[in-house]
Copies of this chain bind each other. A is one copy, B any other.
Amino acid sequence: MSDVHDLVERYLAAWNETDEQRRGAALRALWVEDGGYADPLVDVHGHDAISAVIAGVHDQFPGYVFQLEKPPEEHHGRIRFSWGLASKPGDESVVVGTDVAVLAPDGRLSAVHGFLDRVPAAP
């Protein structure tokens, strides 16, 4: 598995981690100190803030899982990939997004710029 695929797998695993301590360790391995994450709903920096964003998604979608929707492409330290959020692995994703991640010199994430491609219809 390439470094880039491995990174994205670890990224999705961190988003799926419900244990706060294990998630914190995973996020520290993934992002540099004060690394950034933004999507249409949030714009945060640092491992603790990113962990809180993930906890918020688990609260909103209990039991749902993040899965890879489109394999990563990489050039010049930028990675683009699409993820989905599904009720269980392999199910159709109710939310799909595309992230562009920018790597720091040490190979960890410095910034993730996220956009949404599919969102649930309003109730």
A contact set with B: CB distance below 8 Å: 38-40, 43, 73, 75-76, 78, 80, 100, 102, 111, 113, 115
Contact = CB atoms under 8 A, between A and B. Distances in A.
Nearest to A76: B43
How many subunits of this chain does the assembly comprise?
A: 2
Given A80-B113, A113-B113, 14 more contacts: A38-B75, A39-B75, A40-B73, A40-B75, A43-B75, A73-B115, A75-B115, A78-B113, A78-B115, A80-B115, A100-B100, A100-B113, A100-B115, A102-B113
9 contacts: A38-B76, A38-B78, A40-B73, A43-B75, A43-B76, A73-B115, A78-B113, A100-B113, A102-B113
A100 B39 CA distance: 12
A30 to B, nearest CB: 18
Nearest to A43: B76
Contacts of A111: 102
